[in-house]
Each structure stands twice: as structure tokens, then as C-alpha cells.
Amino acid sequence: MKHKLLKTLLITILSLFVIAGCGKKEIKPVAINEKTDKCDICHMAVKNNQFATEIILENGKSMVFDDIGCMYKWMKENKDKKIANSFVKDYDSKEWIEAETASYVYDKPIRTPMAYNVISFTDKKDAQSFIDKNGGSLLTYDKLSNHSWEKNEEMVKEMKEKMKMDGGKDGMKMDMEHSEDSH
């Protein structure tokens, strides 16, 4: 009788763990809508490219950013908001990855939409390969918290000049993508 009671108790406890595990909701990034999505910091259009980032708050609200620097600026300004998860795009594949698991490269000549000059990779080896070819510093998610997040003022000036030359028409669409000749 004791054996049967113990077995029933163990099965009940195990079932509770399984049910509790199944109840955990996986948080996934929301697709970028290039026609309507604007960066929550700089209000520029967010392209579905390797620079897009996203935060999902615990209340389910999704916020998108055109540059990882904008995402970090938002996090600094909104420390009271509860973040459920954050995502970045792999620089090569443009696939979403959890920000905490990514490897990052910072280098002043890397061209990003808001000139923060940080890009993300799924694998550390891919980030290191980029550095070996182009230069830069390898950063982890934890190191990004202490990163200075200063804009490359030379790139900002260049972007403003381009906007003036375009008459401001294409300036809002410009994403300053990285070019191989910029390294």
C-alpha cells in the first residue's frame, strides 16, 4: 500500500512540473513592418535588415529600433520598464537572435543607421571572422551595458550632408549600411 501511495505521489509531483513547464510562454520577436515601424528613440523608419533590434516588454508590447544604440538608449532612459526579452539581427543572415546570446563587434568605421557602430552575430566565431577581416573589438551582451554608446560624429555629419544633397527627400530612408570599402 505504501509503495502504491508513494508511486501516485511521485507521478502527481512530476505531472505538476510538466504542466508548469508547459505554461511558460516563449517570447518571440514581432516581424518588422517597414511601411509603418519607427524607431522608439530617433523615430526613423526601421528596416527589416541586419541593424534592426526589438524589445518585448512583460506586458507584451513590442518596441523596435533602427540601431542597437537606440535600443540601449531606450533601456537607459526606461529602467523602470520590465523587459521580457530583447532581440537583435545577425549581421550576416539578418535572422532574429536573443540579444543575450549574441556576440557583438564595435568599430568606429562600421556604418550603422544611427552611427553607433555596433553589429551583432549569432556565433562568436562569425564575429571574430568579421574582426579578422575588418578590424574591431569583440563585445558580449554584458559588456554592452558598459559601452559608451557615443555616436560617430563624423558619420552623423556625413549623413546630414547627404540629406542636404538629397534635399531631405531620401534622408529619412537612408540606412547608412556598412560597405566593404569603409574598412
At 84-143, the pLDDT tens digits run: 999 999 999 999 999 999 999 999 999 999 999 999 999 999 999 999 999 999 999 999
Cell readout for 146 is: 558598459
Lowest-pLDDT range, 117-121, 125-129, 149-153, 175-179? 175-179
Continuous H helices in 23-122: 68-77
Instruction: pLDDT band for 34, please (50, 70, 90 cuts).
Output: very high
How many helices (H) and strands (E) in the chain?
Answer: 5, 7
Whole-angstrom distance, CA of residue 120 vs CA of residue 123: 9
Instruction: pLDDT band for 13, please (50, 70, 90 cuts).
Output: low
Q: Burial of 167 by CB count in 10 Å (0-12 exposed, 13-18 middle, 19+ buried)?
A: exposed
In percent, the amount of the chain with pLDDT more than 90 equals 64
Q: pTM to 2 decimals?
A: 0.75
